[in-house]
Chains A and B, each alone.
Chain A
């Protein structure tokens, strides 16, 4: 399983919705609920936003949601806000010696 493919960038106006895709080359990504999403504003460490495809940790706004279809996971940000501007990464846990991260997507709030 090589790196997960994400679009380099997406953008939207405040209040709009944006969706980031994360596509794996292996069918495993759609078989197991092991996909997580991370938000990384410039110069900071990543922050867990979604785990096990669609679960939000405590404190993450409900405008962030995750889903899966086939071998593509998706992160949707509804009601886009200026503070959502950041890089977003997906990750997939394959086995005890293999975690794969996505290529990253820059979200721009217009």
Chain B
């Protein structure tokens, strides 16, 4: 059973960078079958997939078109975790952010507990 534990600040100022980390237990970030995702949820936008990282003999990243110019997702093999960085945030980026593991690239099998991130000065 994969468990995901999120950490990171709950308040970010406009124009700054949102950073979250997701620690993995029960699997490896370097798994050749899993994908490691970030998803957010807000009343105005609903559930929104942001992007993922996965390893298939080398590392790959896929990002949603809506955030592609501002997002970076990185694996950390030494700590068995992965991270989200979202640059130049605005109040519209206020949401609950989730990390999620997919046993295939087409679904989300396990989720983190969620982190409410508020963008405000």
Residues on A facing B (Cβ under 8 Å): 3, 34, 36, 38, 45-48, 51-52, 57, 89, 91, 93, 96-99, 101, 103-104
Contacts and interface: CB of A to CB of B under 8 A. Distances in A.
A16 B87 CA distance: 48
A99 B107 CA distance: 9
Contacts of B108: 36, 38, 46, 48, 91
Given A45-B113, A93-B107, A103 B46 contact: yes
Contacts of B113: 45
17 contacts: A3-B46, A34-B106, A36-B108, A38-B108, A45-B113, A48-B107, A48-B108, A51-B107, A57-B109, A89-B46, A91-B107, A93-B107, A96-B62, A97-B64, A98-B64, A101-B46, A101-B49
A48 B113 CA distance: 14
Contacts, number: 53
Interface string B35-67: 000000000001111000000000000111100
A99 B112 CA distance: 18
Contacts of A47: 111
Contacts of A51: 106-107, 109
A48 B2 CA distance: 13
A81 B64 CA distance: 37
A38 B110 CA distance: 11
Contacts of A52: 106-107
Enumerate the 4 nearest inter-chain pairs by beta-carbon distance, A residue then B residue, closest first.
A99-B49, A101-B47, A93-B106, A45-B111
